[in-house]
Each structure stands twice: as structure tokens, then as C-alpha cells.
Amino acid sequence: MKILVQKFGGTSVATLERMQKVREKVCGALNHADKIVVVLSARDGETNALLRLAEQWSASPDKAECDLLVSTGEQVSIGLFAMLLKDCGLRARSLLAGQIPITTDDDFGCARILDINSAALLSFLNQYDVLVVAGFQGCAKDGRITTLGRGGSDTSAVALAAALGSVECEIYTDVDGVYTTDPNICSTARKMDRIAYNEMLEMASMGAKILHIRSVEFAQKYKVPVRVRSTFTDDPGTLVTQEDSTMEAVFVSGIAYDKDQARVTLHHLPDVPGVAAAVFGPLSAKGVLVDMIVQNTSLDGHTDITFTIPRKELKPTLAIMQEVAPKIGATEVLHDVNVAKVSAIGVGMRNHSGVAVRTFAALTKEGINILMISTSEIKITLLIREKYVELAVRILHDTFGLDADRPNRPCPA
């Protein structure tokens, strides 16, 4: 029995006409798969409308009640779509998370999936050809409705594919795949046929708009092949999958960037143990996501600590640092919002020295000053002045031969 999981986002189910398009996709897929599990999001704007309602009703809405409320968005989608399927004679039915169940912890608003009853799923698949499952929602052990957080429908789809034995999971969206970089700023950007899970994770700043990070982690953990493709074309899209040797033949597979950055520096503080904890402990407690961190080598027993954060976190971060600085003996708290991050990403980087050098050289040649550097096994990230970001993306895209007229990443033999 060949099973396929297909997930459609909010824009794909927003209107009757679009749902009819989705139905075409599902009917088409039944030509090459025996059974389809369709995962749907709430119709575009519905989740936000429900959240606005909750905020109107309460200054701090109870999280469990909020999940009960917000989960109605997906319930409406699956009811309507199942009607459409039944109308054309398909053996189909809707399934709420609690009817399978998809069991989660009780961390309302961002619950984690603990278990999916795959025996029940298979039994439903014996009775029906298409199951229409509500994305984004789960069910705590006591039967209360939970939600998985933003982008949770992607996670639902991948988890269902994993529960059914790593069947392929198609994530339909309004773009036709993952690109080597943002086509809006680099006209030579190329759609990739394949990308490794790790690369997709590192492409977060661009990829997160296409595929939710947690769903990629989930897919990687359970080895679920995920195909990102468009509801509105027949393009095969981009397959997110395990890396293999053909992928490693390419140094760099994509260039990412992120303008939502602010830089904070604690100046001239004593280089003694416990300083980093004193700085980042309070930030973590307030839920501020710190991204790059650089601490210079101590020269005179004093050092600087510089880190980046999302811009909207700048105000609370500075408030915390003004408190922390005197305690740890820093003389000054500096900040800068005119910065941006550019990254070169590729699983091939591991096997090829010199990627970092080529990156620095390419930017330096164009007179772009590098403010901070951070490296991981498969990523090099540079903080630069924001005004240079588009230029830097184009330079790096060209430097690593990612242009559209070059051959795409080879398929494995």
C-alpha cells in the first residue's frame, strides 16, 4: 500500500476555488499512490482572526482555552474539504487530532508531539482512500486540545508521514521550491532539486518562510523525505532529504541573509569566569533569542562581548544590559541596528577547506567590511552593514557558482 502525505497551507485553502485546485492535486496523486493523508491549515487569516478575538476578550488569554479556540480554524478547513472530496465520490473523511489521536504534551500553544496512533491511522486508511487531517493541533493525554505553535501544520504532516513509516511528505505552498538564495534580490537564483535537512535548517532565515524549522528537525530525525512544491504549478519542487556524497561534491549550496538583526556590545569588562553566564542568563530567562556571540581574546585582563538579537528585542535587551553591566564591571553598553547577516551554507563545506577564505576575499574585494564572523560545520555567517546585504548576497552567490545557468546539484546515482 503506497501512502502519500500532502500538506496544504492557508493560502491553498482560502477559497472554494483554491480548495478545488487542491482537490485536483489530491485526485491526481491517487493515480500513483493508493492512499492519501491530506493535512490542512486554517484558511488564510483565520488563525490570526481567532487570536485577535482572544486578545480582545482577555489581556492574557488562558493558553488551554486559546488552543481550543484557535484549533477551530483547521476544523473548518477539514470539514469543508472533506465535503468537496465526498462530492466527487471519493471515500474520504475528516479527522481531528483527538480522533486519531495525535498525542502531545500539555504545553499549550507550542505542544510537542509525543505519539501518533499509527494502528488507528492504518485502520482508517483501510476504510477510506483519503483522510483529511487537521494540522497544527494535537491532543493532550487528558483529552484537551493543544496546538503545535506557528507553522505547526508542517510538523503535523511530517509526523504523520513518520508514523506511517517514512512515506514521502509533500508540503504545498505558494512558491515552487527552495532557491539557492532569495530570487527577489538575486536574479540568477536557482531552484534546487534537492537539499539536505541540515542545509534546510541552516537556511532558516529564508527557509522558515517555506518550511517550519521544527518540521525539518522532525523529518531529519525520522528520515522522512519532504518535498516542497507549489499548489499552483506542476513543478516537482525541492526534495529535502538526507545528505549523500553527490551533495558533498558541492561546496556551498545556498546563500541566506537576515536583516532582522541588532548588535549589542558590552565594552571593557573583566575577563573572569561567570561573566558570560551573567550576561546571557537574564536574556534567556526573558526568552530573548541570542544569535551570534563573539568574545574577543583578553589582552589586559579585560574583554568585549558582542552578540546579535532580533531587532524587536533590542529595547528589552538594552534594559537588561543596563542592569547587568555595572554588576560585572563593563564600562559601556553599545548597540547598532544598521547591521545584517549573510551566510553561505553547504554540507560540502565540511570536506573542503578554503570556503571561509574565499568568502572573506570576495567581500573584501568589493570593500565590504566584516563586523563579526561565526562558523559552524556547514555554515559561515558574516555580520555586515545592512546597506551592503543585497550586494553581498549576489557576490557570494556568484563566487560559489550557484547561478541559474550552471548545472543543478546532481542526483544520486
Q: Which is nearer to a copy of itself, 71 or 381 (CB)?
A: 71
Size of the site for a copy of itself (CB under 8 A): 37
Q: Parallel, antiparallel, or unpaired: how do β-strands 130-134 and 92-95 relate? A: parallel
308 annotated to a ligand binding site: no
Amino acid sitting at position 363? L
**Residue 102 DSSP one-character state:** E
Q: What's the closest the beta carbon of residue 70 comes to a copy of itself, in angstroms?
A: 8
What cell does 319 get?
A: 534594559
Nearest approach, Cβ of residue 16 and a copy of itself (Å): 6
Shortest distance, CB of residue 50 to a copy of itself, whole angstroms?
A: 7
- Check whether 86 is labelled as a binding-site residue: no
Residue with cell 547591521: 339
**Could you tell me if residue 223 is left (phi over 0), alpha (psi between -120 and 50 degrees) or otherwise beta?**
left
Torsion of CA 377, 287, 317, 294, to 10 degrees: -20
CB distance 170 to 192 below 8 Å: no
Do residues 134 and 94 make contact, with C-beta atoms less than 8 angstroms apart?
yes
Q: Which string of DSSP letters, residue by residue, matches 174-201?
A: SSSS-BSS-TTT-TT--B-SEEEHHHHH
Least distance between a copy of itself and beta carbon 60 (Å): 8
Please report how close the Cβ of residue 164 comes to a copy of itself at its closest, in angstroms.
Answer: 20
Q: Is 79 in the site for a copy of itself (CB under 8 A)?
A: yes
Residue 119 within binding range of a copy of itself, rule CB under 8 A: no
- Work out the burial of residue 247: count CB atoms within 10 Å of its CB; fewer than 13 is exposed, 13-18 middle, 19 or more buried: buried
Task: Looking at residues 16 to 35 of the shown chain, list those that interact with a copy of itself (rule: CB under 8 A).
Answer: 16, 19
DSSP symbol at 370? P
If one asks whether residue 118 binds a copy of itself (CB under 8 A), the answer comes out as: no
Please indicate if the annotation marks 129 as binding a ligand: no
- Candidates 76, 362, 370, 391; binder of a copy of itself (CB under 8 A) is 76
Q: Which three cell numbers stand for residue 97?
A: 487530532
d(CA 178, CA 238): 6
Residue placing its CB nearer to a copy of itself in the complex, 82 or 339: 82
74 is in an annotated binding site: yes
For residue 242, report the phi and psi dihedrals to the nearest 5 degrees: -70, 145
The annotation status of 7 as a binding-site residue, yes or no, is yes
Q: Is 173 annotated in some ligand binding site?
A: yes
**Distance, CA of 168 to CA of 53 (rounded, Å):** 37
Q: Is 138 annotated in some ligand binding site?
A: no
Say which residue the cell 518550511 belongs to. Answer: 211
Contacts with a copy of itself, 138-157, as mask; x by CB under 8 A = -----xxx------------
Beta strands 372-376 and 379-385: pairing type? antiparallel
Q: Give the footprint of a copy of itself on residues 40-69 (CB under 8 A).
A: 50, 53-54, 56-62, 64-66, 68-69
- Taking the least distance from each CB to a copy of itself, the nearer of 10 and 61 is 61
Kindly tell me which of 115 and 386 has the beta carbon lying closer to a copy of itself: 115
Could you tell me which residues are annotated as the binding site? 7-10, 47, 74, 173-174, 179
Could you tell me which residues are annotated as the binding site for substrate? 47, 74
Q: Which residues here bind a copy of itself, judged by CB under 8 A?
A: 16, 19, 50, 53-54, 56-62, 64-66, 68-69, 71-72, 75-76, 78-80, 82-84, 86-87, 93-94, 96, 98-99, 143-145
Could you tell me which residues are annotated as the binding site for ATP? 7-10, 173-174, 179
